[in-house]
Structure 1
Amino acid sequence: MAGHQAMTGGGRLAVGIGCRTGARPEAVVDLVRRCLSAAGATEAAGAGVALFTVQDKVQEPGLGEAAVRLGLPLVFLPRALLEAASAGAETRSERVVALFGVPSVAETAALAGAGPGARLVVPRIAGDGVTCAVARLPAAGAPDRAGEAP
């Protein structure tokens, strides 16, 4: 798909972001850092980390500003890619299903951003109007979740 390359390899992380309208960039930055820490990484991991969300959020200024502050690319994905990743989601919000057609924007964006076969390493965390999840493609012999044995 144009403008999107799936993150590949066990060390690359896809961070999915969901938010309410008008989410503050500080809230996004704080939650992304918390999720990356839970995944055993930081935004300083460089090219191996990117932020993903649904295309509907393209006009949300807090997301773009947070990406700049974190020094991470922000990729807006079409709903169809998030819908295709829905089976891997672990949490479900009926409100989000009604609005976007997926159980969790953060989880499905992370899974879609990481690419086919990706797994959540940090399920959805919510705070201050923002949700965040982290996914990656499992490497052979690597834990499926932060701190879990394969």
Structure 2
Amino acid sequence: MIVAGIGCRKGVSLQEVLAAVESALEPYDLSPDSLSGLATAKLKAGEQAIIEAGNKLRLPVFLVDGPALQLVSLRGLTRSAASLSAAGTPSVSETAALAAAGQKSRLLGPRSVHGSVTCAIAVNGEEP
């Protein structure tokens, strides 16, 4: 399982989310077709661009609740004061990806930043 975790400011566009996902996948020679899903914090459920990106890519969007984000927060690679303040986690994109990818998940690297959107890629087990 490969999951792209998404964090963003309010009101981002579909194009920004899609560009962030593609940008985050590029260093690992992965394409959106290799993804099993997108993930974000449950508090981002109202961000239509994330839901639309899942629809466009034909992927489920996992909405991860606060306790699940907290369980994996020590495995994240980035510490953002803004994310800690807004979501109570060091990085929404990293922790959402880790939580959605499963118990044995790991990040391929730190989140990437694309304008107002962050994206992190997590894999479960030995993938890829």
Q: Same fold (TM over 0.5)?
A: yes
The correspondence of residues 15-94 of structure 1 with structure 2, limited to 5 A, is 15-45=4-34, 48-94=35-81
Normalized against structure 1, the TM-score is what? 0.80
Structure 1: which amino acid aligns with 2:98? Answer: L
Any gaps of 5 or more consecutive residues in structure 2? Answer: none
Match of 1:98 in 2: 85
Shift of 1:78: 0.6
- Distance apart, 1:138 and its partner CA: 2.8
The CA deviation at 1:129 is: 0.6
**SS of corresponding position for 1:136:** strand
Render the CA deviation track for 1:13-61: whole Å, top value 9, x for unaligned: 011000100011100001101222223221223xx52100000011111
Aligned counterparts of 1:72 and 1:40: Cα–Cα separation in 2? 19
What is the count of residue pairs matched by the alignment?
128
Give the % identical residues: 35
Structure 1 unmatched runs, 5+: 1-11, 144-150
Q: Point out the structure with max Rg over C-alpha.
A: 1
Distance 2:4 2:32 in 1: 10
One-letter amino acid of the structure 2 residue matched with residue 69 of structure 1:
K
Within the candidate set 1, 5, 13, 2:2 is matched to: 13
SS of residue matched to 1:76: strand
Q: Contact 2:77–2:109 at 8 Å: present in 1 too?
A: no
